[in-house]
Chains A and B, each alone.
Chain A
Amino acid sequence: MVGIRSYGAYIPLYRLERSEIVKAWRSPFPVPGEKAVANYDEDSLTMAHAAAWDCIRGIDRKEIDGLFFASTTSPYKEKQASTIIAGAMALRREILTADYGGSLRAGTIALRAAIDAIKAGSAKNILVTAADLRLAGANGLNEMFFGDGAGAVLISNEAVAADFLGGYTISEDFMDMWRSDRDTFVRAYEERFIREGGYTRIVPEGVTAAMNKCDLKPQDIAKFACFTDDPRHVNAAARILQFDPAQVQDPMFMTAGLTGTAMPLMLLVAALEEAKQGDKILVCGYGDGCDALIFQVNGQIENVRDRGGVKNHLASKRMMANYQQYILWRRLMYMEPQSRPDRPTISLSALWRDREWGLALYGSRCKKCGTPQYPVQRVCLVCQAVDQYEPYSFADKKAKLTSFSHDHLAITEVPPITVAVVDFEGGGRLTCNLTDREPDETKEGMDVEMTFRWMHYVGGVHSYWWKCKPVRF
């Protein structure tokens, strides 16, 4: 039976207390709680990668037949992001990749498409990953509401931990929140129209229809994991649907913020983390209609508990110093440029040629002396054996920090950047940047793990590579 084989999530390390925004703008709306904020070197693509990486822990990457990426904030308008994610994960080449966007419902649309593809027998394992990093106008409620994050599920017809029971979809042209091709910031229509005219009409309709289709009543649902664009709206919809407050999956408004396209998947993951065998979870995506999908958890769920998931990522956090840091990381203000040369343009042929060792952080291991080395070396660094090597993945290895420097001269919008020399468990060395770190807490010998990050933007090209970060949990 088709269903969810595994799950994963990603929430950035950093959180901004909403009171910092209130303070910065002397806002009359003291919105409580905190929001998750992607570091300057993170975007939807890297967060989606992190959630997908979390999701396939212990699963052979070669089994994946497809990767769907859902977001309204893809780094590219014309260029697939899912192939970059698949490349960074070293998935097979003959798989189906697709970017879903255009609607905050893209996450559940991708989920439905994956389920349908597997039901149709055209694939066995499709990884669906959704992320968003939305910008709202300064000093508006949405700036306080929005948070950054990602969720991922592996849809499969084998070793499934939550069976898909059925679903229902409504498509309706409804303009409540949007961004045109000329907009950077999300626009929103009058709040009462959004709630009364749209959300609390469409969501109950779709959810009721899905439950009817599966012959279920509201009390049969363990968790209602539903997108919302305002923490009050989901409660209003739940009341109409006659769900108890305990049945409503916490939208993480107070802890992470509203994560857009990623939200239904993240709430689904949060529900799965706590679910017992037999629990029915209703996940609902909303935007230009709604998708309501119902899953029933089975005993296999215990085999996929070893995940970072929502819980560990939520618990592991650092508070941002202030609102200025947010402005800086989101590049919302013209900052005095460093007195440094412009970056050279990117050689796209070199980028393509070296994609395997570069994007996927593969090196070589000498078959003669066994030394792992990065990048791939035709002539072994240690024994000089020629062309006697096998591919070797560094991305999934833990490492220790051997030396470092906090570089104030390097070209970056967020100085200093930290240069790190790391030595991997099992051998091999890499020089890379250390991210998600506090300079004062950086010590030689500390444990680090690898993370796929945005590097720079030159000539319209977003570059991605790997950095190390202190082991998070």
Chain B
Amino acid sequence: MESIKDKVAIVGMGCTKFGERWDASADDMIVEAALEAYEDAGIKQEDIQAAWVGTMWVGDTGRVLAEPLKLQFIPVTRVENMCATGSDAMRNAAYAVAAGVYDIVLALGVEKLKDTGWMGLGDVPFPGTSRGIFGSQGFSGPSAFALLATAYFAKYGLSPQEGKKMIGMISVKSHRNGAKHPKAHLRREVTLEQVMSAPIIAWPLGLFDCCGVTDGAAAAILVRAEIAKKFRPDPAYIKALQISIGHSQGFARSDFEYTSVYETVHAGKAAYAEAGIKNPREEISMAQVHDCFSITEAVIMEDLEFSPRGRVKDDVDSGFFELTGGLPCQTDGGLKSFGHPIGATGLRMMYEVYKQLQGKCGERQLKNPKLGLTHNLGGFPASATVSCCIAGL
């Protein structure tokens, strides 16, 4: 088994303004993200030899991408892997380049969530099964992840108030970072008191523990590493692309404690091995992780070995994940500030890593970051779809 490390480079990226894009269609956002990426890479659309598009709900087949961009009969593949969709589109694109089949490819993720007329995400349909009938009523995203909070607080002896304070501080940090990003959806700082007293969405999670529901698109131009410098002096090289899929273990096995998501542990370990990382807490410069809910971020920090098991609170309290901390996390504000247009999120995270590596992040800019990690967690904590990607100079 070979490693993807340093075989593929990102030479251009684009990201739309994330938000409630009432005035923009999915097609509009695809064009917006793609054109920025072309310009950034200094290429024309006709240079692209193949493309991958990640989306959960926008449409079917590669035409989701080909039609708005008028791609001229090149291969386009639609990828869906729930919240890891954008990262998986990039992963597939990178593998095609690494295989030597293509020199220049496009990976683009898009989601249009605000055309539904309801709050939150819709129910996930289960065609071909009776899970919508013989299954828990409702079970929204917030309650699926709130199960982590209830169990985590109980296992580590945190009262609901202490637990809510810990995850509340995570949201305060992310809002603070997101307020500094012009493309973020939610650009206002919040206080811990606001977070703690917000209406409950799914106990114990309140409004500010949940990420937004948002429209957006993001894109990357990937090329073979050996030709990357022809495009720009500061490409970002892919160090690891890993994905781990659950098999419903946590839904049916009593030994699943709801305090760790196994897929994150698996994807993290595999990514560290692929990138040759021995001590992620020390070696990773920054992480953009899947903070769909504040508790998710807390658990991810332990699953990715950034914090010792059961001790993430110490790192939250000490500011370890702040822009000024030892391992800045959600430097662009995360899902908390950017919202979560499913197909776009993974590539939006990579956009931040890429821009940080190039030193283009203004008042959010970190000092000489070398390695950035992105992480997506789709599905349910009990059975998830997790991606873990690492890119660096």
B130 touching A340, Cβ below 8 Å:
no
B258 touching A421, Cβ below 8 Å:
yes
A222 → B minimal CB distance (Å): 45
Q: Does B116 contact A (CB under 8 A)?
A: yes
Most chain A CB neighbours (cut-off 10 Å) among B134, B150, B151, B251: B134
A351 touching B130, Cβ below 8 Å:
yes
Q: Does B254 contact A (CB under 8 A)?
A: yes
B134: contacting residue among A375, A382, A402, CB under 8 A: A375
A429: contacting residue among B129, B148, B252, CB under 8 A: B252
The CA-CA distance from A375 to B382 in the complex, in Å, is 15
A405 → B minimal CB distance (Å): 3
A381 touching B248, Cβ below 8 Å:
yes
* Residues 418-432 (chain A) with a chain B CB within 8 angstroms: 419-421, 423-424, 427-429, 431-432
Q: Does B140 contact A (CB under 8 A)?
A: yes
Residues of A within 8 A of B253 (CB): 371, 373, 381-382, 429
Which one of A132-140, A180-188, A352-360 is at the interface? A352-360
B46 → A minimal CB distance (Å): 41
B258 touching A350, Cβ below 8 Å:
no
Most chain A CB neighbours (cut-off 10 Å) among B132, B146, B201, B256: B132
Residues of B within 8 A of A350 (CB): 128-130, 133
The CA-CA distance from A456 to B139 in the complex, in Å, is 14
Given A402-B258, A405-B142, A431 contacting B382 (CB threshold 8 A): yes
The CA-CA distance from A199 to B134 in the complex, in Å, is 45
Residues of B within 8 A of A410 (CB): 137-140, 143, 202
B133: contacting residue among A346, A412, A429, A431, CB under 8 A: A346
A147 → B minimal CB distance (Å): 26
Q: B200: nearest residue on chain A (CB-CB)?
A: A408
B251 touching A433, Cβ below 8 Å:
no
Which one of B37-45, B119-127, B298-306, B323-331 is at the interface? B119-127
Q: Does B144 contact A (CB under 8 A)?
A: yes
B136 touching A351, Cβ below 8 Å:
no
Q: Does B156 contact A (CB under 8 A)?
A: no
The CA-CA distance from A373 to B138 in the complex, in Å, is 22
A341 touching B134, Cβ below 8 Å:
no
B144: contacting residue among A411, A412, A419, A423, CB under 8 A: A419
Most chain A CB neighbours (cut-off 10 Å) among B137, B151, B199, B247: B137
B135 touching A403, Cβ below 8 Å:
no
The CA-CA distance from A421 to B143 in the complex, in Å, is 11
Q: Does B249 contact A (CB under 8 A)?
A: yes
Residues of B within 8 A of A391 (CB): none
B133 touching A409, Cβ below 8 Å:
no
B76 → A minimal CB distance (Å): 29
B251: contacting residue among A409, A431, A445, CB under 8 A: A431
Given A381-B248, A381-B249, A409 contacting B201 (CB threshold 8 A): yes
B143: contacting residue among A341, A343, A419, A432, CB under 8 A: A419
Q: Does A302 contact B (CB under 8 A)?
A: no
* Residues 136-179 (chain B) with a chain A CB within 8 angstroms: 136-144, 146-151, 154
A421 touching B201, Cβ below 8 Å:
no
Q: B204: nearest residue on chain A (CB-CB)?
A: A405
A407 touching B138, Cβ below 8 Å:
yes
Q: B132: nearest residue on chain A (CB-CB)?
A: A344
Residues of A within 8 A of B128 (CB): 347, 350
Q: Does A276 contact B (CB under 8 A)?
A: no
B139: contacting residue among A347, A407, A424, CB under 8 A: A407
The CA-CA distance from A304 to B341 in the complex, in Å, is 59
The CA-CA distance from A387 to B339 in the complex, in Å, is 43
Q: B249: nearest residue on chain A (CB-CB)?
A: A381
The CA-CA distance from A421 to B116 in the complex, in Å, is 30
Residues of B within 8 A of A346 (CB): 132-133
B125: contacting residue among A344, A409, A444, CB under 8 A: A344
What 0/1 pattern do residues 81 to 124 of B give for CB contact below 8 A with A?
00000000000000000000000000000000000111110110
What 0/1 pattern do residues 428 to 448 of A give for CB contact below 8 A with B?
110111000001000011000
A407 touching B116, Cβ below 8 Å:
no
B142 touching A407, Cβ below 8 Å:
yes
Most chain A CB neighbours (cut-off 10 Å) among B127, B143, B205: B143
B134 touching A433, Cβ below 8 Å:
no
Residues of B within 8 A of A412 (CB): 137-138
A341 touching B133, Cβ below 8 Å:
no
Given A402-B151, A433-B137, A416 contacting B129 (CB threshold 8 A): no
A407 touching B146, Cβ below 8 Å:
yes
A429 touching B123, Cβ below 8 Å:
no
B123 touching A344, Cβ below 8 Å:
yes
A455 touching B123, Cβ below 8 Å:
no
Residues of B within 8 A of A375 (CB): 134
B142 touching A409, Cβ below 8 Å:
yes
B256 touching A429, Cβ below 8 Å:
yes
A236 → B minimal CB distance (Å): 46
Residues of B within 8 A of A411 (CB): 123, 137-138
Q: Does A463 contact B (CB under 8 A)?
A: yes
Q: Does A7 contact B (CB under 8 A)?
A: no
B206 → A minimal CB distance (Å): 10
Residues of B within 8 A of A403 (CB): 147-148, 150-151, 154, 258
* Residues 106-158 (chain A) with a chain B CB within 8 angstroms: none
Given A403-B151, A409-B119, A358 contacting B256 (CB threshold 8 A): no
B252 touching A428, Cβ below 8 Å:
yes
7 A-B pairs with the lowest CB-CB distances in the bound complex, closest first:
A410-B138, A358-B134, A405-B146, A407-B143, A406-B203, A350-B130, A405-B143
Can you give 22 A-B contacts (C-beta < 8 A)? A339-B117, A340-B118, A341-B122, A347-B130, A359-B134, A381-B249, A381-B252, A405-B146, A405-B147, A405-B205, A406-B202, A407-B146, A409-B138, A409-B140, A410-B143, A419-B147, A421-B382, A427-B254, A428-B254, A429-B252, A431-B382, A439-B203
Using A381-B247, A429-B256 as known contacts, list a sample of 15 further A-B pairs with CB atoms less than 8 Å apart, ordered by residue number in A. A354-B134, A358-B130, A375-B134, A402-B257, A402-B258, A405-B202, A407-B139, A407-B140, A408-B202, A411-B138, A421-B151, A424-B254, A463-B133, A465-B133, A465-B135
